[in-house]
Amino acid sequence: MKITDLKVIRANRAVYVKIETDEGITGLGESGAWGLLEASAQAIIMMKDYLVGQNPLDIEKHWQYMYRFSHFRGAAMMGAISAIDIALYDIAGKLFNVPVYRLLGGKVRDKVRVYNHVSGRTEEELVESAIRGKEEGFTALGHLNPYLDEPRTEPFKDNNTALLYKAERRIAKVREAVGKDVDLCLELHRRLEPGLAVQLSARLEPYNPMFLEDPIRPDNFDEMGRVASQCRIPIATGERINTYHEFEMLLEKNACSYVRASLGVCGGFTGIKKIAAVAEAHHKSLIPHNPCSPVMTNAVLQFVAATDNVAITEYPNPYAASTADHLTGSGVKLRQCDMVDQIAEFKDGYLTVPERPGIGIELIPDVEDRFPFRPHQVMTRLNFDGSICDQ
């Protein structure tokens, strides 16, 4: 078997790769490079000259070649490698007529526990969204932002005292509304300085969050380690780093309890398997990051089905236009589930593991026409004084 062509598909807020072979089997993968999708698409195209003519089953070799050839990496390049790696595994699964999880060692679980994306521009909306998530059957509520999902065009005014009191009040209201049998997965969006993050963790302890995600900017592993050592609520981080070497350094600093590796930017199945092994050696579990389309969700489900040290998985709403549109209330009337031929079944807080060969999902034939590509705008929020506000 040989690779005969590699095509980039841009649709909605996603970039995919389709790899064709001389045996008529095709593979589908998605880049998770988020705001850098166009750059990631160009990196995928750059790999075509190397991949055409190669055996698609030599997946580890191709991964090492792409990972090491340029001497420079980053999110756009790792997103490209991830998309290609996922597509190569999709081809292998279809060739051997098995789901990808069989190629990764077989099942360790029959279904995958997931958390949803709670959102709200006001406290009332936040609480209503949490209640709705519980009513829909989720046993864990995620992307729960105690600083709300306000527009990035609106200057942020709160001082340190307000940051503490408002966050505590909002999480208290959510906990009261959904009861004590639901996990709360808090997303802090790198909003706080280290000392304030420790203060906030202490104030939120009575509400028993499952974890605090990215309380500070994740650039400094030492500082994240110091925050984690002073917080009694577990820290989750990792979505903004790309290689298993970086995750090893993060874990050596004891900087998190949960590893937020992103299948779409850490090297696909090949990369995240390495990260999972490193995490397991440190007695840590993964909570895979996934803000992407149902294609990525299927890939994540294949990985989680075959990986023991996964605590829970992020589940982007397939009935929304995209995760960004869902969280910002853009009003775009599209549904990601209509981009593909099927989605995994959700029931009682769990997703079923896809059993079709490969990753078990295909794009509709006219996806680029029905879902024109919408790149992310360069826009970040500002504080009231004009300085940068992480959100």
Q: Among this protein's residues, is 289 annotated catalytic?
A: yes
Classify burial at 344, counting beta carbons within 10 Å of its beta carbon; exposed 0-12, middle 13-18, buried 19 or more.
Answer: buried
Beta-bridge mates of residue 314 = 115
Q: Which helix (H) or strand (E) holds 244?
A: helix 244-252
- In three-state secondary structure terms, 260 is coil
Hey, what long-range contacts does 233-240 have (CB within 8 A, 24 or more apart)? 233/201, 233/204, 233/205, 233/209, 234/210, 234/258, 235/211, 236/185, 236/211, 236/212, 236/260, 236/287, 237/213, 238/262, 238/289, 239/214, 239/289, 240/214
Hey, what long-range contacts does 271-274 have (CB within 8 A, 24 or more apart)? 271/63, 271/78, 271/81, 271/82, 271/85, 271/243, 271/244, 272/303, 273/104, 273/303, 273/307, 274/244
Tokens matching residue 321: 């236009």
- The single residue of 62, 117, 143, 289 carrying the catalytic annotation is 289
How many other C-beta atoms lie within 10 A of the C-beta of residue 180? 8
Strands 235-237 and 258-259: parallel
Tokens matching residue 121: 């521009």
Classify burial at 206, counting beta carbons within 10 Å of its beta carbon; exposed 0-12, middle 13-18, buried 19 or more.
Answer: exposed
- The single residue of 62, 117, 143, 189 carrying the catalytic annotation is 189
Residue environment code for 56-88, b if the CB has 16+ CB neighbours within 10 A, otherwise e: bbebeebbeebbeeeeeebbbbbbbbbbbbbbb
Task: Cite the active site residues.
Answer: 189, 289
